[in-house]
Amino acid sequence: MVVTAEEVTIIDKNSEELGVSVLQLMENAGAGAARLILEHYSDAKNIVICCGIGNNGGDGFVVARHLSAQVENVSIYLIGQESRIRSAAAKKNYQILKEQHQSINLVQIKDSSEIAKLKKQLKSADLVVDALLGTGITKTPYEPIKSAIKAINNAGKPIASIDLPSGMNSDQAKKTKIMINADLVTTFHDTKPCLTIDELKSKTKIVNIGVPKEAITHVGKGDFIVTYPKRKAVSHKGQNGVVLVIGGSKDYSGAPILSSQAALRAGADLVYTCVPQIIADVSKNTSPNLIIRSFDKTHLTPKSLNQIVNLVKNVDSIVIGPGIGTHSETFKFINDFLKIDFKPKSIIIDADALKAIKDSIDILKNNKTILTPHAGEYKLLFGTKVEVDLLKRTKQILSKSKEISSTIVLKGKNDVISDGNSVKINRTGHPGMTVGGTGDVLAGVIGAICSIVPNTYRSSCASTYLTGKAGEYAAKEFGNSLLATDVIEMIPKVILDLK
Farthest-apart Cα atoms in the chain, separation: 85
What are 435-449's pLDDT values in tens digits? 999 999 999 999 999
pLDDT of residue 219: 99
Contact 271, 283 (CB under 8 A): no
- pTM comes to 0.93
Residue 401 belongs to some domain of the structure = yes
Nearest to 349 by CA among 470, 458, 227, 447: 447
Residue 463 belongs to some domain of the structure = yes
* 196 shares its domain with 237: no
**CATH number of the domain bearing residue 326:** 3.40.1190.20
pLDDT of residue 232: 83
* 121 shares its domain with 248: no
pLDDT of residue 136: 86
* 314 shares its domain with 413: yes
Of the three residues 188, 211, 234, the one that is the final residue of a domain is 211
**pLDDT at 46 exceeding the cut of 80:** yes
**pLDDT at 96 exceeding the cut of 80:** yes
CB neighbours of residue 428 within 10 Å = 22
What are 395-404's pLDDT values in tens digits? 999 999 999 9
What are 332-350's pLDDT values in tens digits? 999 999 999 999 999 999 9
Nearest to 254 by CA among 409, 378, 439, 432: 439
pLDDT of residue 411: 98
pLDDT of residue 196: 97
pLDDT of residue 231: 85
**CATH number of the domain bearing residue 162:** 3.40.50.10260
**pLDDT at 24 exceeding the cut of 90:** yes
pLDDT of residue 275: 98
Give CA–CA dist 32/248, Å, rounded: 57
Residue 60 belongs to some domain of the structure = yes
Pairing between strand 73-79 and 105-109? Answer: parallel
Of the three residues 158, 186, 211, the one that is the final residue of a domain is 211
Of the three residues 187, 211, 235, the one that is the final residue of a domain is 211
* 207 shares its domain with 274: no
What are 213-269's pLDDT values in tens digits? 999 999 999 999 999 988 888 888 888 999 999 999 999 999 999 999 999 999 999
* 302 shares its domain with 160: no
Q: What is the average pLDDT across 272-299?
A: 95
* 127 shares its domain with 257: no
Give CA–CA dist 281/25, Å, rounded: 56
* 450 shares its domain with 385: yes
| H or E element that contains 28 | helix 22-40
* 418 shares its domain with 493: yes
**pLDDT at 101 exceeding the cut of 80:** no
Contact 258, 484 (CB under 8 A): yes
Q: What is the average pLDDT across 101-130?
A: 93
* 364 shares its domain with 421: yes
Q: Considering its fold, how many domains does the chain have in total? A: 2
User: What is the torsion angle, in degrees rounded to the nearest 10, for the CA atoms of residue 141, residue 143, residue 145 and residue 146?
Assistant: 60
Q: How far apart are the first and last CA of the chain?
A: 29
pLDDT of residue 234: 81
Question: Domain range holding 238?
Answer: 221-498
* 167 shares its domain with 234: no
Residue 216 belongs to some domain of the structure = no
Give CA–CA dist 499/495, Å, rounded: 6
Q: What is the mean pLDDT of the chain?
A: 96
Residue 483 belongs to some domain of the structure = yes
- The conformational region for residue 295 under phi > 0 = left, psi -120 to 50 = alpha, else beta, is beta
* 232 shares its domain with 137: no
* 234 shares its domain with 127: no
Q: What is the average pLDDT across 367-394?
A: 98
